[in-house]
């Protein structure tokens, strides 16, 4: 049986933990060469050491143009091409309009929104010139319905950017889709003061549980592969029925 990403090269941001790490492992198992970008050097390098033939770690601040160019250059130098980009890095700050500082708000915008623009611009240019590729943008259920300020607005922006990029890149053979996870059991979800509230909330999800990162990674795999060859500009929800 042929692996679903055989001979493909992927870049995944936020790839050191959570959904990004689950996707990196799955992509590697399905035949891809994967470059993960993250600021968590220890976790990122540990993952690369676990898959030395398939995964390469590069330290990356996704809000930095220079870091994006470095990830692109390292990938091209090592593997000669790029086929897939997964814009997955993201942060959330649990504050209201009236307690969040401008600096905190701008940081969320830089990580959640500007990083996606930079990824599409810098890595997407390689795919455009190649005439082939898939870009998967991680938005959120809060890119469809209300949630915390900062997180919600930037995730709506990722949804809109996906639409704009898909329209521009479709004639060049590059597909761009967004995924919208609900409550996922990741380090970002399970750390901090809201853990017990999240666990209680999960009991009211129609499927009565949080999702595992691997369940989102499976959707990323589908969109990264040629199995989704006629899907672009679309929104794929993985939320256990919360938005129905």
Count structural domains, the chain. 1
Q: Are 12 and 5 in contact (CB under 8 A)?
A: no
What average pLDDT does this structure show over 230-242? 95
Task: Give a yes or no: residue 147 inside a domain.
Answer: yes
CATH number of the domain residue 34 falls in: 3.40.50.720
pLDDT greater than 90 at residue 101: yes
Q: Which residue has the tokens 């060859």?
A: 229
Task: Give a yes or no: residue 244 inside a domain.
Answer: no
| Sheet of strand 133-138, all strands in order from the earlier edge strand to the far edge | 55-59, 33-38, 9-13, 84-87, 133-138, 174-181, 235-238
Task: Give the active site residues.
Answer: 151
Task: Give a yes or no: residue 190 inside a domain.
Answer: no
Tell how far CA 69 is from the center of its chain.
18
Q: Which domain holds residue 54?
A: 9-185+213-238
pLDDT greater than 70 at residue 89: yes
Per-residue pLDDT of 105-114, as tens digits, reads 999 999 999 9
Concatenate the DSSP letters of all residues of 37-88 into one string. Answer: EES-HHHHHHHHHHSTTTEEEEE--TT-HHHHHHHHHHHHHHHS---EEEE-
pLDDT greater than 90 at residue 102: yes
Task: Give a yes or no: residue 83 inside a domain.
Answer: yes
CA nearest neighbour of 43 among 63, 62, 15, 12: 15
Task: Give a yes or no: residue 85 inside a domain.
Answer: yes
Task: Give a yes or no: residue 208 inside a domain.
Answer: no
**Residue 120 to residue 154: CA distance in whole angstroms:** 16
Task: Give a yes or no: residue 202 inside a domain.
Answer: no
Per-residue pLDDT of 65-78, as tens digits, reads 999 999 999 999 99
Task: Give a yes or no: residue 15 inside a domain.
Answer: yes
**Residue 13 to residue 103: CA distance in whole angstroms:** 23
Q: Are 44 and 236 in contact (CB under 8 A)?
A: no
pLDDT > 70 in the chain, percent:
96
- pTM, to two decimals: 0.95
């Amino acid at each position: 049986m042929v692996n679903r990403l055989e001979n493909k090269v992927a870049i995944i941001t936020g790839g050191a933990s959570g959904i990004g790490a689950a996707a990196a492992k799955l992509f590697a198992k399905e035949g891809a060469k994967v470059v993960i970008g993250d600021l968590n050097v220890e976790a990122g390098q540990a993952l690369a050491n676990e898959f030395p033939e398939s995964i390469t770690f590069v330290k990356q601040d996704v809000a930095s143009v220079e870091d994006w160019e470095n990830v692109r250059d390292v990938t091209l130098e090592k593997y000669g091409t790029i086929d897939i980009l997964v814009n997955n890095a993201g942060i959330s700050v649990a504050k209201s309009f009236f307690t969040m500082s401008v600096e905190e708000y701008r940081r969320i915008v830089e990580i959640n929104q500007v990083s996606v623009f930079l990824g599409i611009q810098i890595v997407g240019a390689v795919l455009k010139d190649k005439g082939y590729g898939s870009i998967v943008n991680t938005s959120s259920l809060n890119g469809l319905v209300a949630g915390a300020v900062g997180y919600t607005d930037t995730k709506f922006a990722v949804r809109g950017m996906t639409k704009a990029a898909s329209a521009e890149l479709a004639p060049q053979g590059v597909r761009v889709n967004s995924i919208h996870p609900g409550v996922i059991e990741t380090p970002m979800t399970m750390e901090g003061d809201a853990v017990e509230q999240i666990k209680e909330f999960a009991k009211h999800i129609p499927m009565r549980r949080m999702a595992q990162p691997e369940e989102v990674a499976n959707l990323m795999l589908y969109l990264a592969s040629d199995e989704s060859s006629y899907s672009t500009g679309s929104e794929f929800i993985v939320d256990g029925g919360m938005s129905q």
